[in-house]
Amino acid sequence: MSGPAAGTAHAATSTDVVCLGESMVTFLPSQPGRLADVPSFGRGIGGAESNVACALAAAGHRAAWVGRVGADGFGDHLVETIASYGVDTSAVRRDPVRPTGIYFRTATDRGTDTHEVAYYRAGSAASAMSPENVPYEDLLAGRILHLSGITAALSADCLALLRDLTAPRPGRPLVSFDVNHRPHLWRGGEADASVLLELARRCDLVFVGEDEAEEAWGIVGAEAIRAALPEPAVVVVKRGSAGATVFSGTTVLSGLRPGPRSSNAGEAEDAAAGGADDAGAGGAESAAADGAGPDTVTLVPALRVDVVAAVGAGDAFAAGFLSATLRGLPVRERVRHGHLMAAAVLTVPGDLTDPPARDHADRLAALDDDAWGRLRLGPGWTAADRAPEEVRTP
């Protein structure tokens, strides 16, 4: 087996979620239009996994990001900015030869024909990640390890790393996997997007969009997606404006390692994991056991949002769902927290923003179905003090 020798499950861990992946410096346009016409760009950061880590840390969880950046100014900016959100970046490695990746994008929705992205990531420091050069002791130290299909597409070494991290092993943390299919990353490579299905089946919790499942695997519909992914304990199918459908087994991710009582996220999180044992945190084998028996199917409508920029919402949704999972909340509330975290990002120009205060989000997530259906969120909604201030009827 690549990486370290298999270990044993820990009784407790000081990290809630460890996120592995490439983060890049992103250049955001100063005005709408084609890249050829935009006169200037503002600098930000972007990366699916680091976005999740930043959102979780901002929400009060202990989050770490593990990645590889160049020994350059852009690498400095990435590490410093991610750390400023409260994320532990101590396990980030610097590559003395390969550069930090960067990209430019337009202001339009990623799903439209007018959206443009120009990536400069080939041969980046992150693409050199492999089972031989990442710190496994840090990767496996959290209650949850969050991965993305983007990493698998970066290089053969990165794919080998994800295959190793998703392999069953004693003491493996709960593995969360966001499919994150990016077609352009798979063009001309030795592997193709079908490998994402292989990886997803080895994980405990999977996030996948209906559209990307159809594009990557030719699978249409939420039920067909679950049928293709029978092993994970929980499969979250994102359905765009229709909301999300969650398929969960008879035990919903009970295998979280307990955290210390000093957790910023509160003792409720420890209680949620109190029944976990070594088998429950053992990875793919335990996922099949957790998912055994008939599924519970939970459908949660999306929110109505006055969108400023349709970027970063998927990462924010995953962060909200993971946050609520760490807290032991019911499945419906996990999805609603995902929608709320996504709404926070959708109502700002960039990929990251401060999430709503926890009690604020909890009040909204607890609304009855009618009130949830009337909820409409626009720019600045996270700063409101009371739930009624965000409720606007057309």
Active site residues: 315
**Cβ pair 354, 382 in contact under 8 A:** yes
Angle, helix 331-346 to helix 313-326, in steps of 10 degrees: 140
CA 325, 330, 331 angle in degrees (round to 5)?
75
Query: CB within 8 A of 330, min separation 6: which ones?
Result: none
Q: Is 392 strand, coil or helix?
A: coil
Give the number of other Cβ atoms within 10 Å of residue 45's Cβ. Answer: 22
Query: What is the distance between the terminal CA atoms of the chain, rounded to a whole angstrom?
Result: 58
Question: β-strands 117-120, 102-105: how paired?
Answer: antiparallel
Give the number of other Cβ atoms within 10 Å of residue 264's Cβ. Answer: 13
Question: Residue with structure tokens 């930043």?
Answer: 54
**Cβ pair 126, 133 in contact under 8 A:** no
CA dihedral for 14, 339, 334, 336, sign (positive or negative): positive
Q: In angstroms, what CA-CA distances link 299 with 112, 123, 254, 363, 391?
A: 26, 41, 21, 20, 22
Query: CB within 8 A of 36, min separation 6: which ones?
Result: none
What φ, ψ does residue 263 adopt, rounded to 5°? -55, 135
